[in-house]
Amino acid sequence: MPFPLDSFTRTMVEHHFRRKKLEWTEDYFLQALDSHSKHDVYWAVLALRDCGTARSVPALRAKLGHPMQDVKCTAILTIAHIAGANETLLFGEALLSAAYKEKGYAMWAIRDAADARAVEPVLTYFQKNRAKLRRGALVNGTLPDGVQYLNRYVTFQPAIRSFFDEVRSAWERLAAGEREEIIKRVPTFMG
């Protein structure tokens, strides 16, 4: 499971809901998602990583458009944790959606939970951002995650090899941190 709830975060959830008669159940946190308090929503999204099931996914999907950035970001990762590859199409849609601005989180969910159905959306995303990539200006964290994800399917998809060649041709213009992350995650990338 890619995004488990650690003990510190669980303690923070318990602390947040301490005055609200906390019940550590999926139903409790699904109700909290409807709260007018953005903090209730945020902590409920995180708590669902521990007790949420596929039943939580529609409610979490609805939070991808929440006004609080942290809610949008954690909601997609919680969906990835709960549903895994079953929500691959959602992750690809979020990556390509003009409405969902948290591209780094969508790519992170793809890297950790998606199956091969996300290859096309990932390549499309990088195609749309080709000019930024060539200038070394695509620094939202999507490139290392995208390369790591695509590397799983490189032997099956010639388009991935072409994309990797394009990344290599822009290598010196990429941010040093991006280059280091790519090499750390895919040691054979430049070899």
* Digit-coded pLDDT (tens) for 93-120: 999 999 999 999 999 999 999 999 999 9
Question: How high is the pLDDT of residue 46?
Answer: 98
- Please give the pLDDT value at position 8: 96
Q: Is the domain defined by 1-114 classed in CATH 1.10.3720.10?
A: no
Distance separating alpha carbons of residues 81 and 108, to the nearest angstrom = 11
Query: ∠ CA 55-56-58 to the nearest 5 degrees?
Result: 90
Percent of the chain with pLDDT over 70: 99
Please list, in sequence order, all residues whose beta carbon lies within 8 angstroms of the beta carbon of residue 100, skipping any fewer than 6 positions away: 64, 65, 72, 93, 94, 106
Quick one: three-class SS letters along 90-108? HHHHHHHCCCCCCHHHHHH
Q: What is the mean pLDDT of residues 66-88?
A: 97
Q: Residue 1: what pLDDT?
A: 59
If you average pLDDT over residues 50-76, what whole number do you get? 97
Mean per-residue pLDDT for 56-82? Answer: 97
Q: Cα(61)–Cα(78) distance, rounded to whole angstroms?
A: 10
- Between 22 and 4, residue with greater pLDDT: 22
List, for residues 132-188, the tens digit of each pLDDT value: 999 988 888 899 999 999 999 999 999 999 999 999 999 999 999 999 999 999 999
For the chain, which residues make up each domain, given as ranges? 1-114, 116-191
Here the tokens at position 95 are 């990556």
